[in-house]
C-alpha cells in the first residue's frame, strides 16, 4: 500500500507547520508507522523558502525534545492533488489554498488542524510570529493535542 501523505500548511512555514511536522513525526515514529505515513509542511507564502524554522520555534521545540529541522518551502497547486490530508492552521491559510484550486476539487482533503484537538477549544492555531515566547509554547501544546487526534484518524483510514 502506498504511504498516507499528510501536509501541514501555515503562512510562512517557519513556525506553526514545521512544529506540527516535527511533533507528528515523533508520534508516527513512536507508533512504528514512519514507512506508512509521509509527513511534510509548507507555507502559503514563499518569503522564507529555503530557510530553517524560526529560532524561537526551534528553541521551544528543543526544550521539549523536538528537532524542528524542516527547511521552508511554498505550497504548490500540485500539492493539493498529491497529499491525502492537508491541515491548515487558520482561515486565511484555507482561503489561500482555495485560490490555488479554483474548481475546488480538493476541498474535502483540507481540514482545520484544530478540529483534531480534544483538550483545546481554539478554532485556529494562533500565529506566534509577532508575539512572545509563550506563544511558541502554546503552539506546541496545540500540536501535541491535535497531532494525537490526526494520528488516530490516519490509523482509522489505514485500517479500512
Of 12, 22, 61, 146, which lies in the binding site for ligand 4NP, with binding defined by CB under 6 A? 12
Give 4 or 89: the residue with its C-beta nearer to ligand 4NP. Answer: 89
Cβ-based neighbour number of residue 4 at 10 Å: 19
For residue 43, give every residue at least 6 positions away whose Cβ sits within 8 Å of its Cβ, in sequence order, or none: 9, 10, 11, 12, 13, 14, 17, 49, 72, 73, 74, 75
E-strand ranges in 21-103 read: 37-43, 85-88
Task: State yes or no: residue 11 binds ligand 4NP (CB under 6 A).
Answer: yes
Of 16, 70, 106, 112, which lies in the binding site for ligand 4NP, with binding defined by CB under 6 A? 16
* Stretch 119-148 residues interacting with ligand 4NP (CB under 6 A): 127, 129
Residues with catalytic roles: 10, 16, 127
Task: State yes or no: residue 74 binds ligand 4NP (CB under 6 A).
Answer: no
Task: State yes or no: residue 15 binds ligand 4NP (CB under 6 A).
Answer: yes
Dihedral sign, CA of 96, 102, 106, 107?
A: positive
Amino acid at each position: 500500500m502506498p504511504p498516507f501523505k499528510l501536509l501541514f500548511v501555515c503562512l510562512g512555514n517557519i513556525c506553526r507547520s514545521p512544529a506540527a511536522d516535527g511533533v507528528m513525526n515523533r508520534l508516527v515514529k513512536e507508533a512504528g508507522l514512519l514507512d506508512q505515513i509521509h509527513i511534510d509542511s509548507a507555507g502559503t507564502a514563499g518569503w522564507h523558502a529555503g530557510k530553517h524554522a524560526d529560532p524561537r520555534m526551534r528553541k521551544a521545540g528543543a526544550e521539549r525534545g523536538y528537532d524542528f529541522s524542516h527547511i521552508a518551502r511554498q505550497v504548490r497547486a500540485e500539492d493539493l492533488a498529491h497529499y491525502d490530508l492537508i491541515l491548515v492552521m487558520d482561515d486565511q491559510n484555507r482561503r489561500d489554498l482555495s485560490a490555488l484550486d479554483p474548481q475546488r476539487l480538493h476541498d474535502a482533503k483540507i481540514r482545520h488542524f484544530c478540529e483534531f484537538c480534544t483538550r483545546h477549544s481554539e478554532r485556529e492555531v494562533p500565529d506566534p510570529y509577532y508575539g512572545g515566547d509563550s506563544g511558541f509554547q502554546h503552539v506546541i501544546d496545540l500540536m501535541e493535542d491535535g497531532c494525537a487526534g490526526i494520528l488516530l484518524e490516519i490509523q482509522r483510514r489505514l485500517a479500512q
